[in-house]
């Protein structure tokens, strides 16, 4: 079986980490050796940029500057970790990817084009096989991360910002229907959602 690149996406509090861990465990149970990554992070450069970007006390930056920082982290991740792992026959499971940049930094038509152009330049041939978008109402996301005391600079931006984030994710799924799957998560058990994700990964790998 060939290796595959899976991405877990969605708003803060949607359960990405739990589902990524489930998928990694299922792949391991299949005898595979998946690599579990997160964005921004997983490389020295990515973790350094992460600390700067998520600092709640930092100044407001232009979204283009933020997007460039996220794509710098993404470029490093792809070249240092993702490409070598796939080439060696390992699956990759990554929390967050370009859809996050579209959702958080691409909230106007002009910014959206900017993000898509960076994606074209940086991601090019290393596209995920499938992006799972764990979909949640903005109010639920906001409540799950503790209202206006969210723990990073993006979570602290309020419910109307989160509404745009959700729209950004759904627009990504519309733009790339072959390589994405929207999964409604409200009022569903972790196991139920995990089964839906696993069914897609098994379909695509067989
Ligand atoms: P993180 O703690 O990894 O997310 P979660 O709360 O889901 O565990 O925080 C990453 C933050 O960075 C999150 O608030 C979204 C934001 N972000 C962007 O704004 N753009 C991006 O391209 C990425 C990858 C993340």
In the predicted model, is pLDDT for residue 171 greater than 80? yes
What pLDDT sits at residue 155?
73
Q: Is the bond leading into 50 cis (omega within 30 degrees of zero)?
A: no
Decide: 78 and 123 in contact? Cβ < 8 Å: yes
Q: Tell me how far the alpha carbon of residue 154 is from its chain's centroid.
A: 14
Nearest CA to ligand 1 atom 19: 104
Say if ligand 1 is within 6 A of residue 101 CB. yes
pTM of the model: 0.95
Residue 151 has pLDDT above 70, yes or no: no
State whether the beta carbon of 119 lies less than 6 angstroms from ligand 1.
Answer: no
What pLDDT band is residue 157 in, cutting at 50, 70 and 90?
A: confident
Sign (positive/negative) of CA torsion 189, 163, 172, 11? negative
Averaged pLDDT for residues 5-32: 96
pLDDT tens, position by position, 88-132:
999 999 999 999 999 999 999 999 999 999 999 999 889 999 999
Contact 129 CB / ligand 1 (< 6 Å) = no
Q: Could you give the domains of the chain?
A: 5-205 (3.40.50.300)
Q: Which among 130, 98, 126, 128 has a CA at the least distance from the CA of 114?
A: 98
Q: What is the DSSP letter of 39?
A: S
Which whole-number Å values give the CA distances from 29 to 25, 26, 93, in the listed order?
6, 5, 15
Q: On the CB side of 115, how many CA atoms lie within 13 Å of its CA?
A: 23
């Amino acid at each position: 079986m060939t290796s595959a690149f899976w991405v877990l996406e969605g708003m803060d509090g949607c359960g990405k980490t739990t589902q990524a861990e489930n998928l990694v465990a299922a792949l391991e149970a299949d005898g595979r050796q998946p690599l579990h990554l997160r964005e921004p992070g997983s490389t020295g450069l990515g973790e350094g940029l992460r600390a700067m970007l998520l600092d709640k006390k930092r100044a407001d930056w232009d979204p283009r500057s933020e997007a460039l920082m996220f794509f710098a982290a993404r470029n490093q991740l792809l070249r240092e970790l993702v490409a070598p792992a796939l080439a060696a026959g390992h699956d990759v499971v990554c929390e967050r990817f370009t859809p996050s940049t579209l959702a958080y930094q691409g909230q106007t038509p002009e910014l959206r084009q900017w993000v898509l152009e960076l994606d074209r330049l940086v991601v090019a041939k290393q596209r995920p096989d499938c992006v799972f978008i764990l979909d949640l109402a903005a109010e639920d996301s906001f409540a799950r991360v503790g209202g206006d005391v969210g723990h990073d600079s993006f979570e602290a931006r309020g419910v109307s910002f989160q509404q745009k984030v959700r729209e950004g994710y759904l627009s990504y799924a519309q733009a790339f229907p072959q390589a994405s799957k929207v999964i409604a998560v409200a009022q569903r058990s972790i196991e139920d959602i995990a089964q839906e994700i696993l069914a897609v990964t098994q379909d695509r790998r067989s």
